[in-house]
Amino acid sequence: MSASESLIATHPKTNGTSIQSMCRQGSGWLRQIPVTLLVSVIALAAFAFPGLTAGLQLDFASVDSGQWWRLLSGHLTHFGGGHLFWDLLMFAVLSAACERQNPRFYPIALIAMSVGISATILFMCQDVTTYRGLSGIDTGLFVWFLANQIRQSVADRDRTFTCFWSVAGFLLLAKLGYEFTTGEILFVNAEGFQPLVESHLSGAVLGAITASAARFFPREPELQ
């Protein structure tokens, strides 16, 4: 046996799974979340190129002049690295979970949430001229995700997880109630911009509506 043959024969594997198999599994998982990946890439690109940020941010004067795409694209822009990091981290996790559970309905839901949140800000925040950030969508996705988990736990008659997810939902309601009452946003370091409670409240309502509507779209089995 040659030295090269010996090295190959004794190359370690992880729990009997080859590196190639792990890569195939990872690639299969990524193929289940194309919308999440696309949105994340655009958000990173918008942050990297200020000119792109200016062209995508939700500028209501530009919307009035016919640039309607900003109602969607404004959520992909951010005011700084910290703002982008936390918004995109939450989005990537929640979006991937929701997209895998409802792949056909997810793009429709994401567009509806984006436009709905933008419209809410337009009509309720008359003094706001520009808006950036995924936090409103993050809130909507969190509500949708919680509704899915609670529904599944009840169907499985799993009392432990039913209570766990229900408590998480209660804490979210308490957070939104605090923000609505005080006008302050929890868990956000708002340096250089003014967080909008209205975006979170709108996102939560739209997330609940989305969770109800998703029941009419059959869930597809997840790819292995």
What's the pLDDT score for residue 4? 43
What's the pLDDT score for residue 52? 94
Residue with the bigger pLDDT between 44 and 18: it is 44
What is the Cα–Cα distance from 27 to 21, expressed in whole angstroms? Answer: 10
- Does residue 184 surpass a pLDDT of 70? yes
**Tokens found for residue 122:** 């337009």
- Does residue 196 surpass a pLDDT of 90? no
**Tokens found for residue 208:** 């609940």
> Which residues does 10 contact at the CB level (< 8 Å), separation at least 6?
none
The candidate with the shortest Cα–Cα distance to 204, out of 95, 124, 103, 113, is: 113
pLDDT tier at 200, thresholds 50, 70, 90: very high
The per-residue pLDDT for range 56-76, each reduced to its tens digit, is: 999 999 999 999 999 999 999
**DSSP code per residue over 139-203:** HHHHHHHHHHHHHHHHHTT-HHHHHHHHHHHHHHHHHHHHHHHH---TT---SSS---HHHHHHH
If you average pLDDT over every residue of the chain, what do you get?
A: 85
Residue whose pair of structure tokens reads 């949708």 in the numeric block: 144
- Does residue 222 surpass a pLDDT of 50? no
What's the pLDDT score for residue 7? 38
The per-residue pLDDT for range 62-116, each reduced to its tens digit, is: 999 999 999 999 999 999 898 899 999 999 999 999 999 999 999 999 999 999 9
Q: In the 8-state DSSP scheme, what is residue 127?
A: T
| Sign for the pseudo-dihedral over CA of 203, 199, 107, 77 | negative
What's the pLDDT score for residue 170? 92
